[in-house]
Amino acid sequence: MKTPVPTGPVDVGHLRIACSSCSLRELCLPAGIDTREMERVDRLVNRRRKLKRGEHLYRAGAPLAALYAIRSGFMKSCVLHDDGREQVAGFHMMGELLGMDAISSSRHMCDTVALEDSEVCEIPFGYLEQLSRELPSLQQQLHRIMSREIVRDYGVMLLLGSMKAEERLAAFLLNLSQRFTARGYSGTEFNLRMTREEIGSYLGLKLETISRVLSRFQQDGLIVARHKHIRIRDPEALRRLISQQRQ
Amino acid sequence: MKTPVPTGPVDVGHLRIACSSCSLRELCLPAGIDTREMERVDRLVNRRRKLKRGEHLYRAGAPLAALYAIRSGFMKSCVLHDDGREQVAGFHMMGELLGMDAISSSRHMCDTVALEDSEVCEIPFGYLEQLSRELPSLQQQLHRIMSREIVRDYGVMLLLGSMKAEERLAAFLLNLSQRFTARGYSGTEFNLRMTREEIGSYLGLKLETISRVLSRFQQDGLIVARHKHIRIRDPEALRRLISQQRQ
DNA sequence: CATGGCGTTTGACTTACATCAAGGCCACCC
DNA sequence: GGGTGGCCTTGATGTAAGTCAAACGCCATG
C-alpha cells in the first residue's frame, strides 16, 4: 500500500517541485538551460526528501538510485576505511549535487549525513542520463558539475598534502565564506554547522589543533570565533596566510 | 602552412588509430561499446600524440581542446599553488583518461607531464559530448570514468588526511601493483617511473621519508627496493599495515 | 533549577615527520 | 677515465601537530 499524499504542510512543497521556479537554479543542475527545455527538466525532479539533523542521505554500499541536489540545509560526506577510520571528504550546501561517487560502480562509496535539518531534490539517475542525451545544455552542465568536483578534490589534496595547520584552516574559512557569499548570505559572518572534530577530520588535523588555531586567529584579530559563530574580520590577512611564500 | 603527413614510421601508427583494435579498449573509454557502435567511436579518436619524457601534455590555464587516453607510457598530474608550491595529484598509466579537470571551466587546472616517453590518443571533447548523446553506452562509460576519478580522489584524501607515512607508502605500492596487474604486467615486480620526491609530493611526505620507509620495508622483508626497481615480497603484510586497527 | 553530557578550550608532554647535512651510487658526457 | 650532476640514502637535530588530561560552558532533559 502506498501513501499517495503526505499529510500537512508538506503537500504544498510537493506541488511546487519545479527547478524553473527554484531560486537555486543558476547554481544547480539546471544552470544554463533555456526556458523551452526547462519544462522537461522540471519533470526530472519528481520528489523531495527531508532529512533531520544526523540522518543519512545514503550510506557507502547503497545502490545508486538518484543524485541529490541540496535544496536547503547542510551536509557532510565521509569516506570510511575498513578499520573504522573515517574522513570527512566534503561539506555541502544548497545548490550542490551529491551522489556522483556512486556512478562508477552503481554503489555509493561514502556516507552522506545531514548536519542540520535539510531538504534535497531527488534526481533519478537513469532519467538524468536519458534527458541529458536529449538536451545538450543539460549534458554539459552535468559534465561541468562532475569536473568541478574533481577540481575541488585536487584542491583538497593540495591542502592536505602541502599546507600547515594555519593555512588549512584559513583556506577552509575562506572557502566557506566564498560559498555563503555566492548564495546570497554574509560571507563575513556565519555559523559553522560542523563540530571542531569534523573540521579536523576534513583538514587532516585533530580537534584540539582546530581549537587552538581558531583561538590564535582570534588573538591576532583575524576572526571572532565564539562557539560555532564565526566573524571574519580580516579576510586579506587570511588570504596572505595561505599564499605566503614558503621560506 | 600545415604538415599534412608526419614523416617516418609514425605514418603507420596514424593509419591504425582505431579503438576497436586497441588492446586497451576494455580499460579505456570504449569499454562496453558494442561492435556496431565501435566504428563510430573509432572515428572519435583521430590523432595520436607522442611525448618525450619530461614533456607537458598540457599546462594549467590551457584551454580544453581534447581529453587524452594514455596509449603507452606513464604520466603525472600536478596542481599548483600561486606561491609556487606544487603537489602531484596523480600518476597515470595506459588506458587512463586525462584532462577531465578542464571540463568545468574550459581550462586545464593542472599540469600533466610525461614521466617516460609516452603516447596518448586525442579525443576532441566536443565530438565526445556529441557522440555520447547518440551512444548511451559511451555516455555511461564517460560518466563512470569521471565518477571513478572522484572516488579515487576520495581515496587520496583518506590517505593524506588520516594515514601515517608507512601506511601511505604501503597503499601506494599496492595501488601501483594492482594497476600493473590489471594491465597484464607483473604486480610484484616493476620499475617506478617517478622519483622519491614525486612520490613524496603525492603522498604528502618529504623525499627523505620515502627513502627511509622504503629502507625499513626492505629490512623487514616486505619488499626489495633497489633504486627504481621494486619487488613486493609480502603483499599481505603491506595490506595488514594499512588496515591495522588504530590503537 | 539541578543534572548530565557533549563540544570545546587550554596546558603539559610526546612523537612522527621535517630539516639540515654529508656522503654514495649511477648515468651521462666530454 | 675522470668529472659532473641527478637521485638516493642515512644520521643528527628540530618542530609542528598529536596525545593525554583537566576543566569549562552551554544545552537539553527531567
Residue B10 has pLDDT above 80, yes or no: no
Q: What is the pLDDT of residue B82?
A: 82
Residue of A nearest to B80 (CA): A158
More confident residue, A174 or B6: A174
CB spacing of B154 vs A110 below 8 angstroms: yes
Give yes or no for residue A11 having a pLDDT over 50.
no
* Mean pLDDT confidence for A106-122: 96
Nucleotide nearest to B215 (CA to C1'): D9
Predicted confidence band at A15 (pLDDT cuts at 50, 70, 90)?
A: low
Could you tell me the fold of the domain covering B163-245?
Arc Repressor Mutant, subunit A (1.10.10)
Q: Cα separation of B139 and A109, whole Å?
A: 21
Residue B246 is predicted with a pLDDT of 54
* Helix A136-162 × helix A35-44 angle, to 10°: 70
| Helix or strand (DSSP H, E) at A167 | helix A165-182
Mean per-residue pLDDT of chain A = 91
C-alpha–C-alpha distance, residues B135 and B117, integer Å: 33
Orientation angle between helical segments B136-162 and A125-134, nearest 10 degrees: 130
Query: Looking at the predicted structure, is the pLDDT value of residue B108 above 80?
Result: yes
Largest CA distance in chain A: 68
Q: How confident is the model at residue B230 (pLDDT cuts 50, 70, 90)?
A: very high
pLDDT digits (tens, 9 = 90+) for A52-103: 999 999 999 999 999 999 999 999 999 998 888 889 999 999 999 999 999 9
Residue of A nearest to B204 (CA): A161
Would the pLDDT of B149 be above 80? yes
| Residue B68 clears pLDDT 60, i.e. is over it | yes
Tell me how crowded residue A138 is: count the other CB atoms within 10 A of its CB. Answer: 23
Render the burial of B158-178: b for 16+ CB within 10 Å, e for the rest: bbbbbbebbbbbbbbbbebbe
Average pLDDT over residues B115-128: 96
Nearest one of A66, A201, A178, A4 to B160, comparing CA atoms: A201
> With 60 as the cut, is the pLDDT of residue B6 above it?
no
For residue B122, count other CB atoms closer than 10 A to its CB.
Answer: 19
Best A157, A164, A201 member to test B by mutation, with max B CBs in 10 Å, is A157
In chain A, what are the domain boundaries?
12-137, 163-245
Residue B14, pLDDT above cutoff 70 = no
pTM for the structure as a whole:
0.92
Confidence of residue B46 (pLDDT cuts 50, 70, 90): confident
Across the interface, do A101 and B133 touch by the CB < 8 Å criterion? no
Of A18 and A142, the one with more pLDDT: A142
State how far residue B47 is from chain A, nearest Cα, in angstroms: 23
- Per-residue pLDDT of B175-216, as tens digits, reads 999 999 999 999 999 999 999 999 999 999 999 999 999 999
- DSSP conformation letters of A180-229: HHHTTS-SSEEE--S-HHHHHHHHT--HHHHHHHHHHHHHTTSEEEETTE
CATH fold label, B12-137:
Jelly Rolls (2.60.120)
Q: Which nucleotide is nearest to A215 (CA to C1')?
A: C9
Q: Kindly give, in sequence order, each residue whose CB lies less than 8 Å from that of residue B26, ignoring residues fewer than 6 positions away.
A: none
Share of chain A above pLDDT 70, in %: 92
Q: Which regions of A45-161 does DSSP assign to beta strands (E)? A: 47-51, 56-58, 66-72, 74-80, 86-93, 97-98, 111-114, 118-124
Q: Is B158's CB within 8 Å of A79's CB?
A: yes
CA distance linking residue A159 with residue A90, whole number of Å: 13
pLDDT band at B243 (very low <50, low <70, confident <90, very high): confident
**A19 vs A137: CA distance, rounded Å:** 15
Chain-chain contact of A154 with B100 (C-beta, under 8 angstroms): no
pLDDT recorded at residue B1: 45
Per-residue pLDDT tens for B132-145?
A: 999 999 999 999 99
CB < 7 A from strand C, the residues are A 192, 195-197, 207-208, 210-212, 214-215, 225, 227-228, 247; B 164-166, 200, 204-206, 208-209, 227
Give pLDDT, residue A116.
Answer: 94
pLDDT of residue A66: 97
The pLDDT value given to residue A5: 43
Q: Euclidean distance between the first and final Cα of chain B, in Å? A: 67
For residue A246, is pLDDT > 60? no
Distance from CA of A120 to the nearest CA of B (A): 21
What residues in A contact B157, CB-CB < 8 Å?
Answer: 79, 87, 89, 153, 156-157, 160
Distance from CA of A46 to the nearest CA of B (A): 22
Instruction: Tell me which chain A residue has its CA closest to the CA of residue B241.
Output: A83
Span A121-166, pLDDT tens digits = 999 999 999 999 999 999 999 999 999 999 999 999 999 999 999 9
CA B10 – CA B3 distance, rounded (Å):
13
* Helical axes B35-44 vs B136-162, angle rounded to 10°: 70
Looking at strand C, which nucleotides approach a protein CB closer than 7 A? 7-12, 16-21, 26
| For helices A35-44 and A125-134, angle between their N-to-C axes, nearest 10 degrees | 160
